[in-house]
């Protein structure tokens, strides 16, 4: 631009031309500045739009993940919803077993015991419907995930590590152990 300005001649047309050129120059410069400003604004807005879109995508992904987690939590909560009350009922089941283990001699007591056993069965049915199960122990290999060894004995006629006797019933709620069974294990 400076070079062009130095080429100024004295002739009117030349001057005219020169003026026109100068005018053009100025306009072009202004235009460029304007363009730069506009392009800058456009770029900025486009960048902001891009960021906003990315934020939306992340937010939507977070939302979906949250929904999935909530669903899984809900299923677990539902599956084990009776865990607290069933855990509290385990001693009741123990008490039932103890009461029913007592030998009855009189007919009256035997009749009452029969009634009590029916009540016990109805309770077992109610808790079984909710997913409470006894843990298998006598005659199966000792498994620390299900059994708690409180005694050991040596029985040559049986395999080593086999549960010889169940001392207290163990219970699980579906696949979750509520209480391991207390057992006597073969050495």
Tokens standing for 21? 């050129």
Q: Are 173 and 81 in contact (CB under 8 A)?
A: no
Q: How far is the CB of 78 from its own copies (least distance, A)?
A: 7
Beta strand 181-186 with 147-153: parallel, antiparallel or unpaired? parallel
Cβ proximity to its own copies: between 108 and 175 the closer is 108
In the chain, the N- to C-terminal Cα span, in Å, equals 103
Nearest to 45 by CA among 32, 31, 37: 37
Nearer to its own copies, 33 or 151 (CB): 33
8 A C-beta contact, residue 148 and residue 171? no
Q: How far is the CB of 125 from its own copies (least distance, A)?
A: 8
Comparing CB distances to its own copies, the nearer of 128 and 151 is: 128
What's the closest the beta carbon of residue 139 comes to its own copies, in angstroms? Answer: 29
Task: Please check whether residue 186 is in contact with residue 160, taking contact to mean a CB–CB distance below 8 angstroms.
Answer: yes
Q: Which residues bind its own copies (CB under 8 A)?
A: 12, 16, 19-20, 23-24, 27, 31, 34-35, 38-39, 41-42, 45-46, 48-49, 52-53, 55-56, 59-60, 62-63, 66-67, 70, 73-74, 77-78, 81-82, 84-86, 88-89, 91-92, 95-96, 98-99, 102, 104-106, 108-109, 112-113, 115-116, 118-119, 122-123, 125-127, 129-130
Using the minimum distance from each CB to its own copies, give the nearer residue, 48 or 138. 48
Minimum Å gap between C-beta 61 and its own copies is 11
The greatest distance separating any two alpha carbons of the chain, rounded to the nearest whole angstrom, comes to 143
CB of 157 to its own copies, least distance (A): 37
Q: Which is nearer to its own copies, 89 or 185 (CB)?
A: 89
Exposure class string for 144-180: b at 16+ Cβ within 10 A, else e = eebbbeeeeeeeeeeeeeebbebeeebbbbeeeebbb
CB atoms within 10 A of CB 23: 10
Instruction: Write down the least CB distance from residue 133 to its own copies, Å.
Output: 14
Using DSSP's 3-state secondary structure scheme, residue 176 falls into strand
């Amino acid at each position: 631009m400076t070079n062009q300005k130095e080429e100024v001649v004295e002739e009117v047309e030349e001057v005219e031309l020169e003026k026109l050129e100068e005018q053009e120059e100025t306009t072009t410069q202004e235009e460029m500045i304007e363009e730069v400003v506009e392009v800058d604004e456009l770029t900025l807005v486009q960048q902001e739009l891009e960021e906003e879109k990315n934020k939306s995508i992340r937010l939507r992904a977070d939302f979906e993940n949250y929904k999935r987690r909530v669903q899984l939590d809900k299923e677990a909560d539902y599956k084990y919803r009776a865990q607290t009350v069933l855990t509290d009922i385990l001693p009741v089941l123990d008490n039932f077993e103890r009461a029913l283990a007592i030998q009855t001699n009189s007919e009256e007591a035997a009749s009452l015991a029969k009634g009590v056993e029916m009540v016990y069965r109805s309770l077992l049915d109610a808790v079984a419907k909710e997913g409470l199960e006894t843990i298998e122990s006598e005659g199966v290999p000792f498994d620390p995930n299900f059994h708690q060894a409180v005694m050991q004995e040596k029985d040559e006629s049986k395999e080593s590590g086999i549960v010889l006797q169940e001392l207290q019933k163990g219970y699980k709620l579906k696949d979750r152990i509520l209480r391991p069974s207390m057992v006597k294990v073969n050495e």
